[in-house]
A = this chain, B = another copy of it.
Amino acid sequence: MGMSETITLTVTGMTCGHCKTAVHNALEDLEGVSHVDVDLDAGRARVTGGDVPSMIEAIREEGYDAEVAS
C-alpha cells in the first residue's frame, strides 16, 4: 500500500465533452493509475498513480498534447 503521487498535466486541444471523456478514459486505463480528474475548461488533468511518460503518450494517442504543468 504505497503512496501514489498526483501529477498535474496541461492538456492542449480538448474542445468538448467528448474530448474530456477520451482523455479521461485513456488515462484511467493506464497501469497504476488510481484516480483521474480532467478539467476541460482549464485544459488540465490530474492523475494519481502511473508514470508520466505513459500519461503523455496516452493523451497523444487520443490526438491531444500534454506536458507536466509548471
Residue positions of A touching B, CB distance < 8 A: 15-19, 22, 63
Task: List 6 A-B pairs, minimum CB-CB distance, nearest first.
Answer: A18-B18, A15-B15, A15-B16, A16-B16, A16-B19, A18-B19
Nearest to A22 among chain B residues (CB) is B18
| Pick from B15, B17, B19, B63: contact of A63, CB under 8 Å | B17
Q: How many copies does the complex hold?
A: 2
A22 to B15, CA, bound (A): 14
A19 neighbours in B (Cβ, 8 Å): 16, 18
A19 to B15, CA, bound (A): 10
A63 to B18, CA, bound (A): 11
A22 neighbours in B (Cβ, 8 Å): 18
